[in-house]
Amino acid sequence: MASDASYTVPLLINGKEITTSTTFPVISPGSHKEIWSASSASLDHVKSAIEAAQAAFPAWAKTKPATRRDIFLKAADIVKSRAEELGRYMEEETGSAAAFSSGFNVPLGAEMLKDVAGRCSSINGVIPTCSDDNTAALVVKEPFGVVLGIAPWNAPYILGIRSVLYALAAGNTTILKGSEFSPRCFWAIGSVLTEAGLPAGALNVLYHRPEDAAQVTTALIEHPAVKKINFTGSTAVGRIIAASAGKHLKPVLMELGGKASAIVLDDADLNKAATQCALGAFLHSGQICMATERILVHKDVKAKFIEAFKGAAEGIFGGDKPAPILVQAANVDKNKRLVAEAVKAGAKVVHGDHEQEEAHPETKETSKTRMRPVIVDGVNKDMELYHTESFGPSVSVIEISSEEEAVEIANDTDYGLTSAVFTENLGRGLRVAKQIESGAVHINAMTVHDETNLPHGGAKMSGWGRFNGSWGFDEFLRLKTITYQV
């Protein structure tokens, strides 16, 4: 697929593709060139999308599980058949490596569709026993109505699909508001489901110019027809979304930022820990909410671990490979600043060079969106790097002397999305895992882990609610009690 600056990515409203007169350029972080433009939703488009979703709801809510199942299964097949196309969109728009886009995001998107298809018939109510012999009751689960899903750019197929899929499977209709960094990826989600037979209006896809974010998002949240919101993104923006939704007493599902710790205990398999920590810290240039940000290593194995960790980072992400791409130059600047300030305060860079300027592998021109992995030793709580989510290819190493200290430091953060523990003693790993305040803990594996049958979400400022599996369905169903006299 060649970039086409003359192409404009359309919106999807009521089953029709809408190309607007107001557009915005989509710049590839890899080439720094405009690859295409995208339609920009106005308040009139917001109104049309909501009205379309509202009109489609009564019929969609009545569809049988088998009907929804067949649509999602067909969509999964379409994703597979269009996998190369979808992968290229993500690589162009986000700068991701093929292994992360075509090798992970696209296949998991298809798997998610299949998993949810198989669960469509699993929605059940209950018949409780009432205190009065002449009274009986039913507790049923019903869809909310119109659900707004707001999804980020960093894993657009996984996060975009899940933002509407569980809601649709539960009988809701949806609006997907995608990031302006990857509009063609979000368009592709709408294109796939439309091709699979999803009725017009059941899914509407919008994006907009950055300067229109506040008014478009506010209009979507405030509209009386929108009954629930789910948001995946930064904690800072999540606060704004939650506050707006709270003002209108609307429920929200939030999956926000993270500051994941990986704990390497003194009995860990150091080679395994090193490899998993390198993947967890530097996959997709660290631009994953579950990325490993801090590695807490027992003092007795720290020196050996750091050597193994440096080797793993160099072997997987270094050598002759081009410097990894970040979606914005601002992300590179943030990571370089955090590392520089930590070094100034006494930390030491043991791998990489935060002052190095990277070049485009073909043009050899300086690239402001590229940065190689950096490992920083000696980070402490007096440094901003200790507390702030870097969302980039820098990771801190912190020495520990006991399990108790490891747990204390792992929990010394406002976030609580995911974490990891490395030990050869499963009982020890479980003991530590139970004490960590996070939505997930992975023993002897990296902090980045997401699959369709496991609940995914956070604690503390990493959000609340859960995507995936039966938990994902329950998020988009509300209970109704019906009693009757017999």
Q: What are phi and psi of 399, to 5 degrees?
A: -80, 140
What sign does the CA torsion over 457, 461, 97, 342 have?
A: negative
> What value does the CA radius of gyration of the chain take, rounded to a whole number of Å?
23
Among the listed residues 108, 74, 76, 65, the one whose alpha carbon sits nearest the alpha carbon of residue 90: 108
Tokens of 478: 């509300």
Active-site pick, 91, 92, 255, 389? 255
Residue 473 host element (H or E)? helix 469-475
Q: At what angle do helices 270-282 and 302-317 cross, to 10 degrees?
A: 50
Q: Measuring CA to CA, how many Å separate 58 from each of 135, 143, 233? A: 30, 10, 31
Name, in order, each residue with C-beta under 8 angstroms of 320's C-beta and a sequence gap of 6 or more.
Answer: none
Do residues 37 and 23 make contact, with C-beta atoms less than 8 angstroms apart?
yes
CA distance 182 to 324: 18
Q: Which pair of structure tokens corresponds to residue 180?
A: 């302006």
Cβ-contact 223, 392 below 8 angstroms = no
Q: Are 40 and 23 in contact (CB under 8 A)?
A: yes
195 flagged as catalytic: no
Residue carrying structure tokens 């992400």: 317
DSSP letter assigned to residue 105: I
Task: Read off the tokens for 457.
Answer: 């979400």
Active site residue 255: yes
Nearest to 326 by CA among 480, 181, 472: 181
What is the per-residue DSSP string for 354-391?
TTPPEE-TTT--EETTB---EEEES--TTSHHHHS---
Tokens of 22: 């107001």
Residues 328, 324: Cα–Cα separation, whole Å: 12
Contact 152, 59 (CB under 8 A): no
Segments of 274-428 assigned E as strands: 292-298, 348-351, 358-359, 366-367, 374-377, 394-400, 420-422
Residue 250 identity (one-letter amino acid): K
For residue 11, the surrounding DSSP H or E stretch is strand 11-13
Q: How many residues in total does the chain contain?
A: 486
Q: How far apart (Å, rounded) are the C-alpha atoms in residues 334 and 69?
A: 44
Q: State the catalytic residue, choosing from 91, 289, 293, 403.
A: 289
Residues recognised as catalytic:
255, 289
